[in-house]
A and B are shown apart, each in its own frame.
Chain A
């Protein structure tokens, strides 16, 4: 068996075990209603995690996404309030802005040869600051088009509602999977994560790929911002603080190696669902406190990181025969 699939299998296995535990305790949890809510509640997280997966696969990290989501919400709310532009035009404008923002960070990372961590940290401050400069209050969105978006759903068997934003998330994952696994860009992303020098030797255009990666992450953060504003019906500059970390955690729990080069977009989907399931379980239980979510997620993180460390050691020991 391909050892690189092991983390993915582990992710799926943990998800299934979690499902079984939930089912035994609360049979109702495995209904399409709960599933629909799970998809809706985690839609924005899932979408941004798709972008994060691609960034992490390339060996980078993007700390700016949480702030970009908040900026997006504020941008949409303020634009709809202060200009007469229809919502779809605002969406397009926003996506252009966030994509360009991501591309600029990618350009800085490559151009200055600086660690992505610190460049995207600056991006995080900038995006959050830009949101503050637009407004410091929560701006409600009342737009008929928005009402429509929020209320659109497909009724699944069992009365579960697959909302529009849930569908957008599923679609994002599908698109992310195609990009990561079926395009030359995707191959370049994995190549970069496997080692920049080797990638260069094999003909990867490192600069262009780096810009593309962060532009993609910026686009996904913008899309996530749209979905989040539909979900909450407002724009608030203090929203989604720390979402970047939740997204990173979802990616890692999804079996992607934080050092890059190995992982699957589908794994991230399972990672997001697992985290959502834990939260739902705690809500269902009622006696458990919400903070257990964080502790369990931290524990899962530890488990996966140690598991991957062990796998890495196992494979490298086999090929290099011990200490290098």
Chain B
């Protein structure tokens, strides 16, 4: 084995990001590393590239134990990385990027002719016919990725980590990139390939390792694995009791419709979809990362303006061209990325909870301090937010408690339609179950919920209806007894099979 990882463990305050993970990579192999967000892929890669130091475990490269402390050191050891973005500098020329730090010089000055020759030499064999003296930023992302690969290979040359390199490429560009990767494999490089596009994984990889919740789930030859099982590995089974809880209470009839969305679409973001939401209904949105599930929610909340489509309730049409308009229509939205889109870190728990309510009342009618205090204390108790008091800055709370604060902010608004994008990501199991229970409670009181989640069991546990999103399109709708891990996985897999042709 070229690279072996044994019992790798990494904890962050409040979360166990990697739990006793193993991984091997042979020379001349493409090894796919799969898992949903928060599974531990990026933590593993950061341990390999020296950005993080593991708490326990061992990394062996070429038989020797290594512990890189920085990206530079990892590079010198032979481990090079190409990320989805921020690899190279688009404001420098291709040649400058390739030769950076090793520019050939004449009379002490960088020789542009020498640099050009050096850069062209480095790109030799990658099948690129480009002018290296132009700015990197003027070329397509695919070419930028290949240039980044060429640099990483030239600098390190043993292990190449490709972290979601295809996220913004079209089908032709992906093929171009894969040809390059196959060439490198033939030269004997060990390649770690991270992607959430399953077709590409099947297309390119020799072996697959799946991580989930920081744990190693399976490593298998790609030939021995079919799509359905792979998705099952990625999405997992857990929370069995919650599933039962739902089945017990699920005999109810169809809820009275409340909101109607027709032909909601935005060019290049999500294809037109219709959606009807009943009062007290939980609609689940299933799909792999990057399938368009978050984008659907953003359209409904006016975060991205829809280029087509109408929305209406029982009373008439609704305008949803901005978050403020959506809030006026009684919507709420707890976004996926709490840190950047959810909490206002330096404000207190109390102020964070009152924020949306205050924004709706307008600046001139402040919520009295006592009322804010009451709201904060009520939700701290009701959602069991673990904080010393309501005046603590939200940024100092753990992830799960931050999520509860964002939820509390919307509950205080008493919305009729609440969109939850991955509400349980990265929070501990206890809080996880609490949030699912809360969703039940809310819908019993008549609130409607749109739940986006990568965890199928979670979707199954709480949804009355599940819509499957794939390739920026809503492709299937499952109801009642039709909702199961199997049916969802099949819906994703079936359609995913067409990815290659469609893209």
Contacts and interface: CB of A to CB of B under 8 A. Distances in A.
Given A2-B134, A202-B101, A315-B137, A191 B89 contact: yes
Contacts of A2: 134-135, 138
- Majority secondary structure, A binding face: helix
Nearest to A201: B71
Interface residues of A, number: 29
Interface in A258-288: 261-262
Given A4-B137, A323-B304, A182 B71 contact: no
B109 A182 contact: yes
Contacts of B134: 2
Given A4-B135, A187-B100, A261 B89 contact: yes
B244 to A, nearest CB: 41
B444 to A, nearest CB: 36
A194 B269 contact: no
Given A262-B91, A315-B137, A195 B86 contact: yes
A320 interface: yes
A319 interface: yes
A321 B268 contact: yes
Interface string B78-109: 00000000111111100011001101000001
B89 A199 contact: yes
B89 A322 contact: no
B91 A190 contact: yes
A163 B247 CA distance: 91
Contacts of B138: 2-4
B109 A183 contact: yes
A187 B110 contact: yes
Given A2-B135, A182-B109, A194 B91 contact: yes
A203 B110 contact: no
Interface string B132-158: 001101100100000000000000000
Interface in A193-217: 193-195, 197-199, 201-204
Contact of A203 (B90, B91, B100): B100
A184 B110 CA distance: 7
Contacts of B494: none
Nearest to A179: B109
Given A184-B101, A184-B103, A202 B137 contact: no
A221 B89 CA distance: 29
B268 A322 contact: yes
A217 B351 CA distance: 45
Contact of A261 (B88, B91, B141): B91
A16 interface: no
A182 B110 contact: yes
Contacts of A201: 71, 86-87
A3 B90 CA distance: 12
Nearest to B90: A194
A178 interface: yes
A190 B93 CA distance: 11
Contacts of A261: 89, 91
Nearest to B81: A201
Contacts of A195: 86, 89
Nearest to B87: A198
A187 B103 contact: yes
Contact of A320 (B92, B109, B168): B168
B109 A202 contact: no
B168 A319 contact: yes
Nearest to B108: A183
Nearest to B136: A194
Contacts of B90: 194
B110 to A, nearest CB: 5
A320 B269 CA distance: 11
For the side of the interface on B, what is the size category? Answer: 20 to 34
A183 B110 contact: yes
B342 interface: no
B336 to A, nearest CB: 14
Nearest to B112: A182
A24 to B, nearest CB: 37
A191 B93 CA distance: 11
A323 B71 CA distance: 30
Contacts of B96: 187, 190
A85 to B, nearest CB: 32
A198 B89 contact: yes
A51 B109 CA distance: 19
A203 B101 contact: yes
A319 B97 CA distance: 19
B72 A194 contact: no
Interface-central residue, B90, B91, B92, B269, by most chain A CB under 10 Å: B91
B304 A190 contact: no
Contacts of B88: 198, 202
A194 B135 CA distance: 12
B160 to A, nearest CB: 15
A191 B138 CA distance: 16
Contacts of A321: 168, 268-269
Interface in A1-60: 2-4
A277 to B, nearest CB: 29
Contacts of B135: 2, 4
Which residue among B89, B112, B168, B304 has the maximum number of chain A CB atoms within 10 Å of its CB?
A: B89
A190 B109 contact: no
A255 B37 CA distance: 41
Interface string B184-200: 00000000000000000
A3 B139 CA distance: 11
Contacts of A193: 91
A201 B70 CA distance: 9
Interface string B330-353: 000000000000000000000000
A203 B72 contact: yes
Contacts of A191: 89, 92, 100
B101 A194 contact: no
A4 to B, nearest CB: 5
Nearest to A263: B91
A126 to B, nearest CB: 32
Contacts of A197: 86
B86 A202 contact: no
A190 B141 CA distance: 20
B239 to A, nearest CB: 34
B91 A4 contact: yes
Contacts of B141: 319
Interface of B: 71-72, 86-92, 96-97, 100-101, 103, 109-110, 112, 134-135, 137-138, 141, 168, 268-269, 304
Nearest first, the 3 A-B pairs at minimum CB distance are A194-B89, A261-B91, A194-B91
Given A2-B138, A198-B86, A201-B71, 18 more contacts: A2-B135, A4-B91, A4-B138, A183-B110, A184-B101, A187-B103, A190-B89, A190-B92, A190-B96, A191-B92, A191-B100, A193-B91, A194-B92, A198-B87, A198-B88, A198-B89, A262-B91, A322-B268
Interface of A: 2-4, 178, 182-184, 186-187, 190-191, 193-195, 197-199, 201-204, 261-262, 315, 319-323
8 contacts: A2-B135, A4-B91, A4-B135, A183-B110, A186-B110, A187-B110, A190-B89, A197-B86
